Amino acid sequence: MIFGRSERGKPPVEPVTLKILVAGGFGVGKTTLVGAVSEIRPLRTEELLTEAGRPVDDTSGVEGKHTTTVAMDFGRITLREDLVLYLFGTPGQERFWFMWDELSEGALGAVVLADTRRLEDCFAAVDYFERRSIPFVVGVNCFEGAVRYPQDAVRQALDLDEDVPVLLCDARDRASVKEVLIGVVEHAMAYAAERRQTITT
């Protein structure tokens, strides 16, 4: 596109912008996921973990983690010329959950990132989105050394409805993350269409 005009004389496309949340437990890879796929330099609000926070920050299973998100991560990805996603990574620790209500305002849908070694850490995010009727997918972050479980086993362990997609991903890999985000958009659109149909019938 040059000076507001696209090639071959086509008028410039005004993209639709959608807000997607990335949630999950502490240390599950939310900041990594946003950074892997963002086409802009991602905004991060990470702080060093301190001795003062040790009693409230459960680092079992992620002992190598030295920082934590205290507000949000922010990134942007253009899926198509006419579709842009704004990604908001939520803080994973319970003491920062008060921010979730503000971050979820206007969100089309969410990714609940899960680590099979600490699956219970994403229960809070699943409950949050279910209670607020925000459509979400579960992205199982396939960490090195973590046991791979079938998607149905993860669905059963998290007590998910049949229509909630469970997707395997690598939060470090752009193509893998992009597939998860496409999954969120498709699921959210199907969810919205189903709700419209329910209201009109």
19-67 tens-digit pLDDT: 999 999 888 999 999 999 999 988 766 555 445 444 444 545 555 545 5
DSSP percent split of the chain into helix, strand, coil, nearest 5: 35, 25, 40
Every domain of the chain and the residues it spans: 14-200
Fold of 14-200: Rossmann fold (3.40.50)
Report the distance separating Cα 122 and Cα 124, nearest Å: 5
User: If DSSP states are collapsed to H, E and C, what string results for 39-97?
Assistant: CCCCECCEEECCHHHCCCCCCCCCCCCCEEECCCEEEEEEEECCEEEEEEECCCCHHHH
Residue 4, pLDDT > 50, answer no
**Across all residues in the chain, what is the average pLDDT?**
84
164-181 tens-digit pLDDT: 999 999 999 999 999 999
Residue 63, C-beta contacts closer than 8 angstroms, at least 6 positions apart: none
Residue 3 pLDDT class (50, 70, 90 cuts)? very low
Residue 5 pLDDT class (50, 70, 90 cuts)? very low
Mean pLDDT of the region 114-137: 95
Report the distance separating Cα 61 and Cα 163, nearest Å: 30
CA distances from 45 to 19, 72, 108 (A): 19, 6, 23
Residue 94, pLDDT > 70, answer no
